[in-house]
Amino acid sequence: MTSRYLAITLALELAACAHSAKGPQTQAHHEDEQAAMLVQRAHQFADAADYTRAEQYLNLATKRGGDEAQVMPLLIDVCVRDQRYRAALQYAEEHLRRHPRSYRLRYIEATLLRALGDIGKSRQELQRVLDASPDYADAHYSMAVLLRDQLGSHLEADRHFREYLRLAPRGQHAEEAGESLLEAVP
């Protein structure tokens, strides 16, 4: 498909959305269907590695009343898959301004900040996550790796590796966390 064809398809879908207004309840139901259709199309574009188009459809889904909690992770994912980390971070920060207690998204924000080299802000956001969700094992692991690899704080890293192992003894990172401990755990 050419980008011109895709643009025409998008324009036709938007025109269909605009001309189908009926009653208030019917309109709300119709908008939900439109948003779901736009999310579905975004998935198709993402599967075809057309991340820019997927991002456009996800933005439209949000504007058409799509569930932000459902759309935001997808939007960030397509940006990350396209290696557009700053755009993903911008979406995360924008969402967190409206929903500051979205700690899973804050964790993703911290990960993006680290990937972009903002270690201080990444640590700060990880700490916010851990303050709000002390049982979030992956946040402990990420904090430990950041402390060990970027800040050289091995004692602090050890504490977070141990907490990760306590919370997720068979977790995805258990082997590395165990090997990173300063002393062997009996």
Cα(161)–Cα(18) distance, integer angstroms: 53
pLDDT higher than threshold 80 for residue 186: no
Does 181 fall in a domain? yes
Q: What is the mean pLDDT of the chain?
A: 86
The residues, any chain, with a CB within 8 Å of residue 174's CB and separated by 6 or more, are 164, 165, 168
Does 19 fall in a domain? no
pLDDT, tens digit, 9 for 90 and up, residues 14-24:
444 444 444 45
**Domain carrying residue 181:** 134-186
Does 154 fall in a domain? yes
pLDDT, tens digit, 9 for 90 and up, residues 134-175:
999 999 999 999 999 999 999 999 999 999 999 999 999 999
The whole-number average pLDDT for the span 107-136 is: 97
pLDDT confidence of 11, banded at 50, 70, 90? very low
Concatenate the DSSP letters of all residues of 131-156 into one string.
HH-TT-HHHHHHHHHIIIIIS--HHH
Q: Identify which of 1, 10, 5, 108 has the alpha carbon closest to the alpha carbon of residue 58.
A: 10
Does 60 fall in a domain? no
Q: Identify which of 64, 62, 65 has the alpha carbon closest to the alpha carbon of residue 73.
A: 62
CA distances (Å), 154 to each of 10, 103, 131, 183, in order?
52, 25, 20, 11
Does 116 fall in a domain? no
Q: Which residue has the tokens 């199309």?
A: 41
Does 57 fall in a domain? no
> What sign does the dihedral 70-75-76-81 (CA atoms) show?
positive
Q: Identify which of 42, 87, 90, 79 has the alpha carbon closest to the alpha carbon of residue 62.
A: 42
Total domains in the chain come to 1
Cβ-count burial of 156 within 10 angstroms (0-12 exposed, 13-18 middle, 19+ buried)? middle
Does 171 fall in a domain? yes
Does 146 fall in a domain? yes
Kindly report the number of other CB atoms within 10 A of residue 57's CB atom: 28
